[in-house]
Amino acid sequence: MARAICISGIECCGVETMVLTKLFRVDALYPDPSILDVVCRDVLSGKIIVFPTETVYGLGASIYRPEAIRRIFIAKNRPIDNPLIIHISRREHLYETAVDIPDAVWRLIELVWPGPLTLVLKGGSAVPPEATAGLPTVAIRMPAHPVAEKLIDCTGPLAAPSANISGRPSPTTSHHILTDMFGRTDIIIDAGDTIFGIESTIVDFSIKPPRLLRPGAMPIERITEILGIEVTVTDVSRGYVEAEEALAPGMKYRHYAPSTPLIVVETRKPEDVLKVALSLRRERKRIAVITCRENVEIYQGIVDKIITVGSRENLFEVAKNLFTTLRELDRLGVDIAVAESFPEKGIGLAIMNRLRKASTKIIL
Ligand code: TXA
Ligand code: MG
């Protein structure tokens, strides 16, 4: 069990607890092996750990320690019906974590793993119900981050959701993980900014044809090209449909949401965003606009804050800055924010999914 001591301050599922957190800073490419050795032993003995992946930081526990997996839900304040992704570092880990793996999946992972693609497969015997929320399927991925790879090589498979408090954007920087998880997790490995800054793509291969459950850092176009068959993309995967219709249990919960109301304008013409901003200005609202570098000048002198998430020509840059932008929105002192849209190609599909899920209103 965790060394949970009662100190007033953190409200955690109704219990006031504060966990003593050990913080290690490591080089993202060449992490100190002696640090990894220490934390590996801790994880095997049942500790929970924040660790970097190429997408976002994860909060992990060994799949062989169900009691530690349960603590992840408490630390994040995560509903227990929302299953976790199993992170592996070798293909052999699949033999214990999944069964009936289709040939197409073996071909796919040969080309894209390690990398930001999560597969939903029929669950194997080593994965406890604490990680799958009792589902017969399991989500599995092999992260492409030297720290995650080396850590999991030592610990074996780790069950891990993103290391944010539920409802907040996933953590992509040292600042995010310290803000959300210090005092809630036993260990933090801080390796600086993650690479993509947006979560993995999730595809359900337990059904035919496979279905996109969550767009992410791996473009769906690349997956369909390798498979040679279409992957079903629905309004749910685009981020329009909430609640009961959601396919991945986690998608029914409101996500990424700042307290500041956020309007997403889908038309992609900055003039339309400007019109929305002008009408809000007439209502005497203080307004922030989330835009790309190319359009900054259009809003100057009209809105109170202009937030640039990157260039339209480089959607990877936009993805990387998106969660920091959403986290900082509430600190700008504005009444409302209006966001431009981005092309739904490649990683753009994931950007639009997250923006829609963070929004309070979508203007089509
Ligand atoms: O990039 C990522 O995927 C990050 C890093 C840490 O790996 N992880 C992450 O985990 O985003 P999480 O828990 O925040 O999101 C995983 C999503 C949730 O919406 C969950 O409901 C869904 O995956 N999921 C997990 N197991 C599933 C299953 N068996 N069937 C359908 N959806 C599943
Ligand atoms: Mg998450």
Tens of pLDDT along 119-157?
999 999 999 999 999 999 999 999 999 999 999 999 999
* Nearest Cα to Cα of residue 185 among 42, 295, 348: 42
Q: How far is the CA of 10 from the centre of ligand 1 (A)?
A: 25
Same domain, 40 and 172: yes
Average pLDDT over residues 241-265: 69
Among residues 201, 231, 251, the one where a domain terminates is 201
Say if CB 226 and CB 344 are below 8 A apart. Answer: no
The residue type at 66? P
Same domain, 21 and 152: yes
Same domain, 189 and 266: no
Same domain, 283 and 153: no
Same domain, 191 and 267: no
- Which of 217-231, 251-265, 286-300 is predicted least confidently? 251-265
Range(s) of the domain holding residue 334: 262-363
Residue 248 pLDDT level (bands cut at 50, 70, 90): low
3-class SS of residue 309: coil
Spatial distance between the Cα atoms of 304 and 286, rounded to a whole number of angstroms: 6
Tokens (6 digits) for 54? 């190429």
Tokens (6 digits) for 341? 């849209």
Specify the pLDDT at position 238.
86
The ligand placed nearest to the CA atom of residue 249 is: 1
Specify the pLDDT at position 256.
76
Same domain, 133 and 267: no
Spatial distance between the Cα atoms of 200 and 219, rounded to a whole number of angstroms: 10
Whether residue 248 lies inside any domain: the answer is no
Give the count of domains, the chain. 2
Same domain, 167 and 67: yes
Say if CB 199 and CB 54 are below 8 A apart. Answer: no
Whether residue 253 lies inside any domain: the answer is no
The residue type at 130? E
Q: How far is the CA of 67 from the centre of ligand 2 (A)?
A: 20
CA angle 89–84–96, rounded 5-degree value: 45
Whether residue 214 lies inside any domain: the answer is no
Quick check: CB of 97 below 6 Å from ligand 1? Answer: no
Quick check: CB of 324 below 6 Å from ligand 1? Answer: no
Residue 276 pLDDT level (bands cut at 50, 70, 90): very high
Residue 307 sits in a domain whose CATH number is: 3.40.50.11030
β-sheet bridge partners, residue 272: none
CA angle 249–251–256, rounded 5-degree value: 140
Specify the pLDDT at position 4.
37
- Which of 4-13, 168-177, 221-230, 264-273 is predicted least confidently? 4-13
Same domain, 43 and 128: yes
Q: How many CA atoms lie within 13 A of 300 on its CB side?
A: 6
Spatial distance between the Cα atoms of 184 and 243, rounded to a whole number of angstroms: 28
Quick check: CB of 52 below 6 Å from ligand 1? Answer: no
Average pLDDT over residues 181-210: 97
Same domain, 276 and 134: no
Residue 44 pLDDT more than 50? Answer: yes
Q: What are the tens digits of pLDDT across the range 289-302?
A: 999 999 999 999 99
- H helix intervals, the chain: 33-44, 66-76, 93-97, 103-112, 129-132, 146-155, 174-181, 220-227, 235-238, 270-282, 296-299, 315-328, 348-358
Whether residue 92 lies inside any domain: the answer is yes
Residue 212's Cα: distance from chain center in Å? 15
Whether residue 150 lies inside any domain: the answer is yes
Whether residue 240 lies inside any domain: the answer is no
Q: How far is the CA of 310 from the centre of ligand 1 (A)?
A: 26
Same domain, 184 and 267: no
Specify the pLDDT at position 3.
36
* Nearest Cα to Cα of residue 139 among 166, 112, 157: 157
Residue 192 sits in a domain whose CATH number is: 3.90.870.10
Whether residue 210 lies inside any domain: the answer is no
Same domain, 44 and 138: yes
Whether residue 212 lies inside any domain: the answer is no
